[in-house]
Amino acid sequence: MQPEAIVASNDSQIACVLERAIRKRTCGRVSNLRVELRCELVVVSGTTPTYHVKQLALEAVREALGMARPFRIDIDVI
């Protein structure tokens, strides 16, 4: 999905699109995945076994959002 489409979507659609993109890119290796929208900030949280999977999640968010919104990745590596 293009960043312009995400900007035009409502918050629940944005969260769904991002969750789907992260799950696809990481092959579901982020446990307890949660995408929250706090005002203009997108916060992605969860846990994963490797830093590589965390990086894949970050890339998925960057690709889906582009520069449309600021975001924070709070995925713990355990």
Q: Which amino acid, 26?
A: T
Predicted confidence (pLDDT) per residue in 27-70, tens digit: 999 999 999 999 889 999 999 999 999 999 999 999 999 888 89
Q: Which amino acid, 37?
A: L
Report, at the CATH architecture level, how domain 3-77 is classified.
2-Layer Sandwich (3.30)
Domain coordinates in residue numbering, the chain: 3-77
SS3 12: helix
pTM, to two decimals:
0.84
Q: What's the count of helices (H) and strands (E) in the chain, helices before strands?
A: 3, 3
